Amino acid sequence: MHHVNGKQIAVIGLGRSGYAAARLLTVHGAHVTVLDDKTPEKLTAWIEKLQALPQVKLVMGGIDPTRIAVSDLVVISPGVPALHPALVSAREKGIPVIGELELAFGYCNAPIAAITGTNGKTTTTTLLEIMINASGKKAIACGNIGKAFAEAVFELTTEDAAVLEVSSFQLETIEEFRPRVAAILNVTPDHLDRHADMQAYVEAKGRIFENQKPGDSVILNVSDKYTPIYTGLAKSDVYFFGFAGAIRGDKKPGCYIEKGMIELLGRPLIQATELLIPGPHNLENACAAALMASLMGVKDDVIAQTLRTFKGVEHRLEPAGEVEGVRFVNDSKGTNVDSVVKALESFDKPIVLMLGGRDKAGDFTRLSALVKEKVTRIVAFGECKNKVVQQLSPSATVVEAETLEEAVNGAFVASEKGGVVLFSPGCASFDMFQNYEDRGRQFKAVVQKLKAYKAAQAVKA
């Protein structure tokens, strides 16, 4: 834990995490300078909130190394690359550089359950939060979703639980961060535009349990190729989850899907068919959440009831409406190729796939087999639409769209009655939208506009 009273602290990146870090630091007596390379009009709401904090200076339009050089500590938001030249310079001068996650950990009184992985984090984190709250104990989902961790710590006591969704970016800058229960859901290629290579990405994910000790727990996916590596590195108690058919050797303690049943630590929990959220990946997410909840002290009946009633999270295989017998599905949270694979595996109906956005060095050819099997047409949009055309044209007809509305209308025209238009972009959203939430909500709005138009046409007819 870094003691900050009276210290000069630089916070890099405003936004949700930066504001929360600045607030936490000022409460503990630090003198804070917030730096961001964006112009003020892009951060108006956060600037207004920041102005209410004492002892905070704001520098916009660039990250000035000279201001960082006079700091006692630098705290960065997840979107700031750990190898930014100003941060490299700070480390060379002996100035510690940590993330908002590490900062908040030092002030968190509650036990922590932390979840990372390439896909499934939001669903699993939300499920776990609901399970703990349903048990009568207060839990707050925070970190990479909902509230920033540095904001949530103000509300958490020793009797509560922090349920963290944690990204590889956040794990890059930890020092002492230590969850009581940690989970790595899966690891597939993602964010290779930021991480040096796949090995660096795998190592970043593995940092979630590097400070754990015996008595803490880490849970791992029996189907993931990197699980044997993580198992060998863990110093804490190791549990497993997933499909029992993927187990090699003896069955270790965990939560498994076996013979149509979800079993928790050897006890039957619910029938797999009782789960409302679709897809085999969500069965894995359910097992991970159930196992973590059990390790956090939640009883089986509470876990089972949550699984039976949970309808999913916004932007993750979310029903977005039906127009003339065509179902629209909002999977805007699908920001990498593997998430598109999981989305495609969740449907048997003919699919028109909407794919594109800002490239994250993804390999769309990995979709080829599923596209040939399930997809009747692809509508490509965003910055990397040309790459989508080049890599997937051999597998399906691919058409390009310039706007989201053009893409939705084109997908509808190409769809079949009883089919699905799947909005699973497989890319980052920042080329055309503020974030994946903004992208998903704009998609849903366009679908509703199309639905209203078709209804009006039907009335006129």
Annotation marks residue 121 as catalytic: yes
| Residue 363: strand, helix, or coil | coil
| Residue 260: strand, helix, or coil | coil
Closest CA to 78 of 189, 172, 153: 172
Annotation marks residue 409 as catalytic: no
Closest CA to 163 of 94, 114, 93: 114
Annotation marks residue 449 as catalytic: no
Closest CA to 168 of 150, 187, 151: 187
DSSP result, 143-190: ESSSB-HHHHGGG--TTSEEEEE--HHHHTT-SS---SEEEE----S-
Contact 328, 352 (CB under 8 A): no
Rounded distance between C-alpha atoms, residue 287 and residue 306, angstroms: 12
Q: Which of 31, 84, 191, 195 is catalytic?
A: 191
Rounded distance between C-alpha atoms, residue 190 and residue 386, angstroms: 20
Q: Which two tokens stand for residue 434?
A: 């503020």
Q: Which of 2, 31, 84, 144 is catalytic?
A: 144
Q: Which of 2, 31, 121, 205 is catalytic?
A: 121
Number of Cβ within 10 Å of residue 308's Cβ equals 13
- State the maximum Cα–Cα separation within the chain, in Å, rounded to a whole number: 74
Q: At what angle do helices 300-309 and 280-295 cross, to 10 degrees?
A: 150
Q: Which residues are catalytic?
A: 121, 144, 191
